[in-house]
Structure 1
Amino acid sequence: MNTDVDRVVAHLDPGPGPGMTEGAHALMREIITAEPAPAPRPARRRRPVLRLALPGVALATAAFVALSWLLPTGPGFGPGPAAALDIREENGYYVVEVKDLYAGPDRYQEQLRGVGLDVTLRLTPSTPSMVGSIFPTSPTDHRYLDEIKTIDQPGACEKMGGCPIGVKVPVGFQGPAEITLGREAAPGEEYANVTSFDALGEPMHCVAFRGRTVAEVRELLAQRGLAVHEFRDTNPYIDEEAASRTSVPDSWYVNGGYLRAPGKANLNVSEQPEESDAGGLRNCAAPQGS
C-alpha cells in the first residue's frame, strides 16, 4: 500500500454502519504520520464523530468496470443474478469484485462466509482522496494485516489514500479481518471518511488558503464548486458547544478545513491568524492556484 506521508486517514462517522473498533483506531494513529483531518467539536445538532478512515472505492482500469472493487476469492464463485460480490480464486488467493457498492454489510458477509472467509467488509462514503483506498485490520489483536495484500492500479497515483483496485486474501486465511473501503457518496449523503481538504487528491491541495480571511477562502472554494457549510472556532478557551457556528465575520482567518458532503466544506477559523499558517501551504511541493 502507498505509505506517502500525505496519506492521512480520515475519520469514520458511525452513522452509516458499525464502524471500526477502538483498537483499529489506535493502530491507524500509529501507522499514519501525516496531519489528521480536523475533527469537529460536538454540538447540539447532529454532528459526525470523525475517526481515522480507511479507504476503498473502485478506480476504473482496463480490466475493471468503473465503481467496482476487486478482492481475491475462491474458484468458481460467480456473482449470481443479485450478488453484491463476484468471488473467485487465483494463484492461492481469493479475489473479490464488488458489484454493488451500496449493498448492506449483511449481503457482503453472506457471500464472504459462503467461501469460508472470516472477513467483514464495509464500504463508507468518502472524500475524493479516500475513494479507492483500502485498510485491513484484525479486530482481535488490533494490527494491520500484512498477509492481506492490496492490488494497486498501474501507473502514477495522485491520491492520499493510494489507488488500489483490490485485495488479495490468502486461501486458508483464518481471520477474522475487517476491511474498510471508501466509496463515492450517494446524492445527499454525508462523508464518513474525511481528511483535510488540502490533502493530496482533495480540491484545495496546493492552494494557499491557510491564514487568509473567510471572505478570501469562500471565493477560493466557490471557484472549485464548493460552498461553506459550517465553521468551527479553534479558540481553545471557548466552550465546546460554542465552537460550532453557522456563521462568523468575513474578517476572521481560516486555518484548516475538510469536506462534509459533496459540494460542502467545513472551515476551521479563528479571530486572529495563527503563526503556523504563514505561507498558507502544507503537504505541497509547489503552489497551484491562488
Structure 2
Amino acid sequence: MNTDIDRVVAHLAPDPGPGMTEGAQALMREIITTRPGPQARPARRTRPVLRLALPGVALATAAFVALSWLLPTGLGFGPRPAAALDIRQEDGYYVVEVKDVHADPDRYEEQLRAAGLEVTLRVVPATPSFVGTIIPTSSTEKRYLDEIKTIDQPGECAKLGGCPIGMRIPVDFEGPAQITLGREARAGEQYDIFASIDVLGEPLHCVPFRGRTVAEVRELLARRGLTVHSFTDTNSYIDAADATKTSVPDSWYVNGGHLEEPGKASLVVSEEPEESDAGGLRNCATPQGS
C-alpha cells in the first residue's frame, strides 16, 4: 500500500543544512488542509496522511513568526504580562519570534496589529517532526506565502519540518495572511499537525516496522514509551463505521502509522500482509535496527 504520507515524506527530506528544500516546501503547501473547528475532529482517519491544521476562514497578513512568546495585554492595574511576541524591524523586514506558544490568540493579534500587521497567528499541537514549523498562508488567495521567510537555526536539522527560530516578512507586504505554528502538545492533546511515525524526527524513524505484526510493533513502541491509541483497517477505508478500531488481533500486520497524541500512536493495519517496499523502510537512508 502506497499511502499519501509515503509520497509526501519521500519529497520532504531536508537538506543537510537548516530548513527544507524548495521541493519540500512545495509539497507541504500541496498537502495543507483545513480542519473545520475544535469540535469537528473526525471520528476516523482514513489515511495517516500529513495534515497541517489551518483554520478554515482566517485573515492573516505576514508577520514573521517562528516559535512562541508572550504579548502584554490590557491596561488594568497590576503588572503587565510579558510580551507574547518579539517583533522588530530589520533591513526592510518585520522579524517576529513567538515567546509564548500558549498565549491567548487575542494577545498575538493585539501585538501584531499594533505593529501594523494584519496577521492571524494560530499555534497548534504538532508531532515532534513539526514542532516549530511555520506555515504562512493567504486565506483570500489560497496559497502558501513565499514572501514570508523563515529564520532557521544554524547547523544540521534533524526534523522533517525544518528547524526555524523565527520569520521575516517584508515591511511592505500586503495581507491578509494567516500563520500556523506547530508546538509541543500537552498531555492528552491530539495533534493537529502530524506526519508518518517513521519520518525524520518521529519515534520510529529508521526502524523497520512496516510489514511486522501488531504484537511486534507494540513492542517497538513500548521500548520508546508509546502505546497504541487506535487502529485503521486498510480494508475499511470506504466504511466510516468500521475504519477506526480500538483493537485488532495481534497477528494482523502494520502498514503505517502516526502519533495521535503524546505517548499514543495510531496504526494502519490489515489482516493479510501487504507489499512493503525497501523492506519496510520508506523514509530512511540508513536503517538503525529496532
- TM-score w.r.t. structure 1 length? 0.76
Q: Distance in 1 between matches of 2:173 and 2:238?
A: 50
Alignment check: 8 A CA contact 1:255 1:277 kept: no
- Report the Cα distance in structure 2 between the residues aligned to 1:17 and 1:237, rounded to whole angstroms: 23
Counterpart of 2:177?
A: 177
Mapped partners of 2:239, 2:188: distance in 1: 30
Backbone CA RMSD of aligned residues: 3.0
Give the Å deviation of 1:6: 7.1
State the shift of 1:120 in Å: 1.3
1:151 and 2:151 are equivalent in the alignment: yes
The gaps in structure 2 that reach 5 residues or longer are 1-18, 55-65, 71-79
TM-superposition CA deviations, 1:196-251 (whole Å, max 9, x none): 00011101011100000000000000111110010110105762211111110000
Tell whether the 8 Å contact from 1:53 to 1:194 is kept in structure 2 after alignment.
no
Gaps of 5+ in 1: 20-38, 43-47, 55-65, 71-79
Question: Residue 138 of structure 1 contacts residue 145 of structure 1 at CA under 8 Å; is this kept in 2?
Answer: yes
User: Aligned partners of 1:49 and 1:251: how far apart in 2?
Assistant: 24
Structure 1 or 2: more helix by fraction: 2
What CA distance in whole angstroms lies between the structure 1 residues aligned with 2:123 and 2:39? 9
Matched residue, 1:250 = 250
Listed as ranges, the matches of 1:98-177 within 5 Å are: 98-177=98-177
SS in structure 2 opposite 1:235? helix
Secondary structure at the counterpart of residue 191 of structure 1: coil
Distance in 2 (CA, whole Å) between partners of 1:289 and 1:6 is 26
The aligned counterpart of 2:8 is: none
* Residues 209-248 of structure 1 aligned to structure 2 (within 5 Å): 209-236=209-236, 239-248=239-248
**More deviation, 191-200/10-19:** 10-19
1:248 to 1:17, Cα distance in 2 relative to 1, 3 A: closer
Aligned-residue offset at 1:98: 1.5
User: In the aligned structure 1, how far is the partner of 2:38 from the partner of 2:236?
Assistant: 30
TM-score, normalization: structure 2? Answer: 0.76
Pick from 20, 29, 37: which aligns with 1:2? 20
Taking the aligned partners of 2:289 and 2:134, their CA distance within structure 1 comes to 30
Q: Could you say what secondary structure the match of 2:112 adopts?
A: helix
